[in-house]
Amino acid sequence: MDYPTNVKILRIPCTGKVDALYLLKALEDGADGVYVAGCEEGDCHFLVGNIRAKKRVGYVKSILKDLGINPGRVEMYNMSAADGPRFVDVAREYTARIKALGPSPIRTGAGSEPTEEVAEKEQEPEGEPEAKQENKPAGEETAQPAAG
């Protein structure tokens, strides 16, 4: 169960301690992307820490969009602390997604880049988009039925 070596893990007691400035500072210091992995919603030992983190990640995404930087460079994923395979899958998928975006314009000084919506439209083939199952960031809905 190996995740990509370029994934740096910072352990904190609760994602509720993640401040928007920490996320922005990580990007400023050279990270091409940052994601927060928190416990499942409704399962937070500190009650609402993961809800706070989700709001802060959303706030940072809006700042990035306003700056002309793809907001997909910051994400929030909810998962059980006991679900190592899911953590590895998310780490691999997010790393591939960030590699596809290329180096951060914050790090390179290249200015702005296409927002997520523009980038998705450019990659989407003509006709009906295919439904695909993947690890979605927290808060994004999917049309796939839930396994029960």
| Structural domain includes residue 10 | no
Q: Which domain holds residue 47?
A: 15-118
Question: Once rounded to an integer, what is the mean pLDDT over residues 11-16?
Answer: 91
Residue 85 has a pLDDT of 92
Whether residue 102 lies inside any domain: the answer is yes
In a domain, 42, yes or no: yes
In this predicted structure, what is the pLDDT of residue 113?
82
Percent over 90 (pLDDT), the chain: 54
Do the domain assignments include residue 104? Answer: yes
Q: Confirm whether 88 is domain-assigned.
A: yes
Mean pLDDT confidence for 69-87: 93
Q: What is the pLDDT of residue 147?
A: 41
129 is a domain residue: no
pLDDT of residue 45: 83
Give the total number of structural domains in the chain. 1
Q: CA-to-CA distance for 98 and 95, rounded, in angstroms?
A: 5
What was the pLDDT predicted at 106? 85
